[in-house]
Amino acid sequence: MAEHGKDITKLQEKVSSLTNERDKQLDRLQKSSKDVDDLNEQIKQLQSDNKKANEEWQNKLATQTKNFKIETALREADEEEFETLVEVMSAKVKEDRPVSSREALRRLWGK
C-alpha cells in the first residue's frame, strides 16, 4: 500500500509539472501573439512613414527640376533679366510678405 501511495504521489507531481508547463506554453503563446500584433502595427506605421517620405522626396525633386528648367530658360533668354528676377525673388523673401505677380513684373522690367 505504501508503494501505491508513492506511485500516486509521483503521478500527481507529474500531472502538476505538466500542467505548469502547459500554462507556461499558453502564456508564451499569448505573449507572442501580442508581439505579432505589435510588429504588424509597427510594419503598418513604417510603411505609412515611408510612403509619406517618398511623396515628400518626389515633390522636392519635381520642384527642383521645375526650378532648374526655369533658371536654364532665363539664363538662355538674358542673363541680366535673370539677375533682376533673382533680386526680385530675394526681395520677396526678405520683405516677409507676398509679392504680387504684377509687382514682381514691374520690378523686373523697372516700370
Q: What is the pLDDT of residue 102?
A: 64
Q: Is the dihedral of CA 32, 33, 35, 36 positive or negative?
A: positive
Task: Report which DSSP code applies to 97.
Answer: S
Least reliable range by pLDDT among 30-39, 49-58, 82-91: 82-91
* Segments making up each domain of the chain, as ranges: 24-77, 78-111
Q: What is the pLDDT of residues 55-98, one digit of tens each?
A: 999 999 988 888 888 777 766 766 666 677 676 666 554 455 55
The terminus-to-terminus CA distance of the chain in angstroms comes to 119
Q: For residue 98, what pLDDT is reported? A: 56
Q: 3-class DSSP state for residue 110? A: coil
Q: What pTM was computed for the model? A: 0.44
What residue spans of the chain are helical by DSSP H?
2-77, 79-95, 101-109
What is the chain's length?
Answer: 111
